[in-house]
Amino acid sequence: MSGSLVCVGTGMTLGAHISPISQSHIEQAGVVFSLMANGFAQKWLEGMNTDVRCLQRFYEEGKNRNITYNEMVDTILTEVRDGKKVVAAFYGHPGVFACVSHRAIKKAKAEELPATMEPGISAEDCLYADLGIDPGKTGCMHYETSQFMFYKRNIDTSAHLILWQVALAGDKSLGKFSTGKAYRQVLVDLLLEHYPRDHEVILYQAKGIAIDAMRDEKILLTELVDAELFMHTTLVLPPCSTMQPNEAVLAKLVAIDKKEERIKNGPELSLVL
């Protein structure tokens, strides 16, 4: 019998965010591999299936995370190749900051093994709800913090700038769980090229369990260097400028509107004459 792989998301808040289809996949799986946010979530998952195997054991301080991720992928695919119905469960969304799922699905498909993904509620979804941000109002830019530092990116200060994994700012080793103040200062200096020193930013962390309090700590941008940061801390920079009208485009649209109005009213005017 051919094996299969489904990567599912369990959401951010324990037990509250999982979708019916993801829960069904977990309950019916031959084996479940898990990457949960905490031990409570792991125990909860183990209550849905008798064969749940935690992938956290592959993480080691100083070990390159690419090696860790590839080991996880190989462990998952070994069971798929063995003909089992495999589910890989990730907290949050299985495709957001979760390269293991993408690598596993890509590798499975290359071997002509069935592999799919089911979405989950991510930290981004929680962020919009908890902080009251509508991405459709002024727009949002999202970057992984180190990638934002390593490459030249365009910054629109009239939109929200959201930097993920800020605790790992500037890490090129892929082996650290956090970086120090010197690294954060480089990030702050980069941001100060676009934002004022007294710009208020938000340190955000979604709730892991229902009784937790989400973190929405407001600090000045320059205070980021000494702030308490964790692997799941997200930095949110609200806009510091207003959107500027694109007069050239607006003029073109006005001209199109007038032309369409003339076409619409043309036949009626002819009949009157």
Q: What residue type is 170 in one-letter code?
A: G
Answer whether residue 248 is part of any domain.
no
Sheet holding 200-205: strands in order across?
A: 140-144, 160-164, 234-237, 200-205, 215-220
Q: In the predicted model, what is the mean pLDDT of residues 148-154? A: 95
Mean pLDDT of 69-90: 97
CATH label of the domain that carries residue 110: 3.40.1010.10
Three-state DSSP class for residue 200: strand
88 with 131, same domain: the answer is: no
| Rounded Cα gap, residues 149 and 184, in angstroms | 10
Q: What is the pLDDT of residues 209-229, one digit of tens each?
A: 888 899 999 999 999 999 999
Which active-site residues does the annotation give? 65, 69, 91
The string of pLDDT tens digits covering residues 5-45 is 999 999 999 889 999 999 999 999 999 999 998 899 999 99
| 198 phi/psi in degrees, rounded to 5 | -95, 15
Q: What is the pLDDT of residue 273?
A: 47
- Both 217 and 108 in a single domain? no
Is pTM, for the whole model, over 0.75? yes
41-50 average pLDDT score: 96
In this structure, the answer to whether residues 108 and 9 fall within a common structural domain is yes
Phi and psi based region of residue 139 (left: phi greater than 0; alpha: psi -120 to 50; beta: remaining): left
Residues of the chain above pLDDT 70, percent: 97
Give residue 249's pLDDT: 97
Q: 101, 121, 141: which is the final residue of a domain? A: 121
DSSP E strand boundaries for 45-182: 52-54, 85-90, 115-117, 140-144, 160-164
What is the average per-residue pLDDT within 172-179?
Answer: 85
Based on the domain organization, do 112 and 196 belong to the same domain?
Answer: no
How far is it, in rounded angstroms, from Cα 101 to Cα 8?
9
162 - beta bridge partners?
142, 236
One-letter amino acid at 50 equals: T
What does the CA dihedral 80, 92, 106, 68 come to, rounded to 10 degrees? -80
Residues 10 and 60 in one domain: yes
Say whether both 35 and 46 belong to one domain: yes
- pLDDT per residue as tens digits for the range 239-253: 999 999 999 999 999
Which residues, in sequence order, are bridge partners of residue 89?
A: 8, 34
Task: Give the three-state DSSP class for 228.
Answer: coil
Look-up of token digits 């990116």: 153
Residue 103 counted as domain residue: yes
| pLDDT beyond 70 at 95 | yes
Q: Residues with Cβ < 8 Å from 240, sequence gap 6 or more?
A: 157, 194, 195, 196, 199
CB atoms within 10 A of CB 71: 16
The counts of H helices and E strands in the chain are 9, 10
Strand partners, 4: 85
Q: Are residues 191 and 107 in the same domain?
A: no
Same domain, yes or no: 231 and 128:
yes
Strand order in the sheet with 31-35: 52-54, 31-35, 85-90, 4-9, 115-117
Q: Which domain holds residue 27?
A: 4-121
d(CA 104, CA 106): 6
What CATH number is attached to the domain comprising 188? 3.30.950.10
Residues 33 and 107 in one domain: yes
CA 173/CA 193 separation, integer angstroms: 26
Please tell me whether residues 132 and 218 are part of one structural domain.
Answer: yes
Per-residue confidence band for 90, with pLDDT thresholds at 50, 70 and 90 = very high
Separation CA 93–CA 60 (nearest Å): 23
Q: Which residue has the higher pLDDT, 62 or 215?
A: 215
Task: Name the band, by pLDDT with cuts 50, 70 and 90, for residue 208.
Answer: confident
